[in-house]
A = this chain, B = another copy of it.
Amino acid sequence: MNANLISYVPNLRVLDCTLRDGGLVNDSKFSDDFAKALYQADLKAGVDYMEFGYKCDKKIFSPDRYGKWKFCDEEDIRAIVGDNDTDLKISVMADVGRCDYKKDIIPKADSVIDTIRVATYVNAIPTAIDMVEDAKNKGYEATVNIMAVSKVNGEDLKNSLELLGQSSVDVIYLVDSFGSFYPEQIRRLTDQYMEVADKYGKKVGIHAHNNQQLAFANTIEAMNKGVGATYLDATVNGLGRGAGNCHLEGLLSFLRNPKYKTIPILKFVENYILPLREQGLTWGYDIPYLLTGQLNAHPSFAIKFIKEGRKDYYNFFHELVDDTL
């Protein structure tokens, strides 16, 4: 399918990695209240996957220093989602070399987790594949994120993609770890990933960072109107280490898919993300200008909104609809 802006692309999957990538900002110390509210927001927003955090080895990372989402113990996830009797899939990230996967990843039959996302550098692909096979044998969906691709030479990348193609992995992720790629590079890389994916019946994902203010644009570019990457990573309000990630509220709005709703995410920003900023966590940009952009409204509305010290985005959204559309 070659879609344009108003087309419905049914095979897309949006993954909210706020808890996981945002956890790099606060040592994964999100409260249960925060996690529950995000889970509810993702459900209402029609997000396809929610990533709870890392599956890190407690022998390497101390539970005294890190919050529970660094480890994602089964009971901790269940405390948020119960048996997760929903369409929202749950993923965790397992870093090569930081995860005691044979022990800490239990059989899928006993777990509420759906998907194991293996993160690897290119030199550790064989271990990553062992982790994939372990996860698949246990009954999980498995993805591989090849990190730091901007520093990988062409031959290594080509060989890695071939190895992954021949593995049991379901999705291969293009990851711009350093936020260094321009859209035309993302396009070329996505084409390269798609070639392997098509050959072996895999899917391709995109995980972008916002260092050059291109995370969102690069995510769109990788999608390539529905014929490129179909697994799209984003975080609420771009929350993530450093410059942050593709912003979920922008992405859902762009997709124009009846399945996706932006407002639950805006509410979550209002109630849970702003307090984080007030506590001093720092990253990215601001919501009101996004809304005026999305609604094709003059920025003076957002300027006034901010000037008045208001933070009720939900009301603001409806006022903009009422006042400008």
Interface residues of A (CB under 8 A from B): 4-5, 150-151, 177-180, 182-185, 209-218, 220-221, 225, 241-243, 247, 250, 254, 282, 284-286, 289-290, 292-299, 302-303, 306
Query: CB-nearest residue of chain B relative to A286?
Result: B243
With A211-B290, A289-B242 given, is the CB distance from A296 to B182 under 8 Å? no
Could you say which of B150, B209, B299 contacts A241, with CB atoms under 8 Å apart?
A: B299
**In whole angstroms, how far apart are the Cα atoms of A302 and B241 in the complex?**
10
B290, A212: Cβ atoms under 8 Å?
yes
**In whole angstroms, how far apart are the Cα atoms of A209 and B294 in the complex?**
12
**In whole angstroms, how far apart are the Cα atoms of A151 and B298 in the complex?**
11
A293, B250: Cβ atoms under 8 Å?
no
Enumerate 22 A-B pairs (CB-CB under 8 Å) in ascending A order: A5-B185, A177-B298, A178-B293, A178-B297, A178-B299, A179-B289, A180-B294, A180-B295, A180-B296, A182-B254, A183-B183, A183-B217, A209-B293, A211-B289, A211-B292, A212-B216, A212-B293, A242-B292, A242-B303, A243-B289, A243-B290, A243-B293
**In whole angstroms, how far apart are the Cα atoms of A292 and B180 in the complex?**
8
With A213-B216, A296-B151 given, is the CB distance from A285 to B178 under 8 Å? no
In the complex, chain B residues whose CB is within 8 Å of the CB of A247? 213
**In whole angstroms, how far apart are the Cα atoms of A74 and B222 in the complex?**
49
B217, A285: Cβ atoms under 8 Å?
no
Tell me the smallest distance from the CB of A195 to a CB of chain B, in Å.
Answer: 19
B293, A179: Cβ atoms under 8 Å?
yes
In the complex, chain B residues whose CB is within 8 Å of the CB of A282? 306
In the complex, chain B residues whose CB is within 8 Å of the CB of A217? 183, 213-214, 216-218
B209, A179: Cβ atoms under 8 Å?
no
B290, A220: Cβ atoms under 8 Å?
no
B298, A178: Cβ atoms under 8 Å?
yes
Known: A209-B299, A211-B289. 17 other contacts (CB 8 A): A4-B184, A5-B182, A151-B296, A178-B292, A178-B297, A180-B295, A182-B254, A183-B220, A184-B225, A211-B292, A212-B290, A213-B250, A216-B217, A242-B303, A243-B285, A243-B302, A285-B285
In the complex, chain B residues whose CB is within 8 Å of the CB of A213? 210, 213, 215-217, 247, 250, 285, 290
